[in-house]
Structure 1
């Protein structure tokens, strides 16, 4: 059983660059950054019904990444550059860490249209080179929209690359599996939390989204035949024990467990005995005990230039 990282499940929260908005959209009005953001948000609300600003005017303010093995075990979760949350440092650690771990598969929910483009533009903005991501190999390119080996967007999997809509998003997908989904904060509130200096709350929100994405990822692996329902049940139990352990020192994990519930197995024994039993962990008298849950890794202090992932 290898602990090599095969998947990096991540989520990004972002804030608007008021100076850029002022310079690009309102060059003759001499607006302050805050005034420019407020004006653009008002325009977006009128046009779209949401204050959310396009990613081209945004910078990352929280990046949380879960490390997952080839057999889908959760190893660890990291919030990059916490507690400083410096956009340029997070961006460097994000891309450099991907290379350090030998370019594992990115896993997101709606990351193809937001999270990955945001981090690409952040590399552009901060002068970072990512040649292994921006390789020029035609249809085999890691940036090929349909290259799921490099980046699996779970929303695209569930919608056949946007042939259908997934109304409800990650919140719906997670809650359909008995997981917490959105708890209080939402994406369109991130700017307000940043403006009042509550960066830790943004990071905690991002961490919970990554946990939701992990459990949606597991069920997608069941759906696509890469994981059995029985093995998914064992992995969920291991992850739950890991989260409970982290909850002693991590507020986000504590909140997550407060909202935890179980997926209700609909299969009855007279319908399919194997599926009915799949969500019931065997006792130690019936089979070997399941593997111990992953423990939080003890990492050496990183050098200044090392990746935090």
Structure 2
């Protein structure tokens, strides 16, 4: 049992990011001469609505500024939930820390919609800040085993985008993290929604954003365990053992958002015999 779990969850980094509009970048890109940051954000979103004929105000990945990166790191019988950097750290520090984690430990990345959003945002932000990410971009030139399994290929598993895989790589089939978490009986998002991150950031509530991001990571991690169960990498007993391992770890944490998540996380999620 322990050997099975250690093999499957030997070096897994379940991650998520939170972003706001890139105000300074938007000023440069569109020649906006406006001192009010909130006003610039509104103009950028308005421009996007025009671009999409009213379908969306969600900005393109290169106009997102990263304000939080959180992750759950499985290392066999060890697990750790944290956010990269300190609350006051600038974006470049957070992005650099994320890619340094990959450089040093080469974990398998697990996300929900990471291929379409989180990673492209991180690509552009690393590019803009000049942050090296040698191992992340490796395609087999220096490490031959990366030729057939690398971080940037959609169909490889160094990055496993659960939403992409479960939708059979069809945009019409995608599901929101919140919907799948609630369908499974998980707590789902707590404290805010993605659309509210900018407002919380403007009010200086960076810690609340990091906590919200960590809750998204916890939901994603539990969806990942269910995926490993359904594809036969974990049997029912190993699946329950992994959940208990995570629950025990979280019970040792004293933060309010962790306690709330534990209170809403059912002891026994339904699994067919």
Relative to structure 1, is the Cα distance of residues 132 and 79 closer, same or farther in structure 2, using a 3 angstrom cutoff?
same
Please give the per-residue CA displacement for 1:252-301, whole angstroms capped at 9, x wherever unaligned. Answer: 2012123222455365xxxxxxx1xxxxxxxxxxxxxxxxxxxxxxxxxx
Conserved 8 A contact 1:74-1:239: no
Find out whether 1:154 has 2:154 as its counterpart: no
Report the 3-state secondary structure (helix = DSSP H, G, I; strand = E; otherwise coil) of the residue aligned with 1:118.
helix
> Which deviates further from its counterpart, 216-225 or 115-124?
115-124
Q: Which residue of structure 2 lines up, in the alignment, with residue 98 of structure 1?
A: 102
Find out whether 1:208 has 2:211 as its counterpart: no
Gaps of 5+ in 2: 141-146
User: 1:1-80 alignment to 2 at 5 Å?
Assistant: 5-25=10-30, 27=31, 29-32=32-35, 33-44=37-48, 47-48=53-54, 51-69=57-75, 71=76, 73=77, 75-80=79-84
Find out whether 1:177 has 2:184 as its counterpart: yes
How far apart in 2 are the matches of 1:40 and 1:181? 29
Number of residues paired by the alignment? 259
Conserved 8 A contact 1:91-1:123: yes
Conserved 8 A contact 1:179-1:261: yes
Larger Rg: 1
The structure with the largest helix share of the pair is: 2
How far apart in 2 are the matches of 1:89 and 1:237? 33
How far apart in 2 are the matches of 1:200 and 1:141? 33
Gaps of 5+ in 1: 268-274, 276-309
Conserved 8 A contact 2:164-2:174: no
Conserved 8 A contact 1:177-1:262: no
User: 1:249-268 alignment to 2 at 5 Å?
Assistant: 250-265=255-270, 267=272
Conserved 8 A contact 1:62-1:85: no
Q: CA RMSD in A?
A: 2.3
Deviation at 1:157, TM superposition (A): 1.4
Q: Which residue of structure 2 lines up, in the alignment, with residue 234 of structure 1?
A: 241
Alignment TM-score, normalising by the size of structure 1: 0.77
Report the 3-state secondary structure (helix = DSSP H, G, I; strand = E; otherwise coil) of the residue aligned with 2:265.
coil
How far apart in 1 are the matches of 2:150 and 2:186? 34
Relative to structure 1, is the Cα distance of residues 43 and 255 closer, same or farther in structure 2, using a 3 angstrom cutoff?
farther
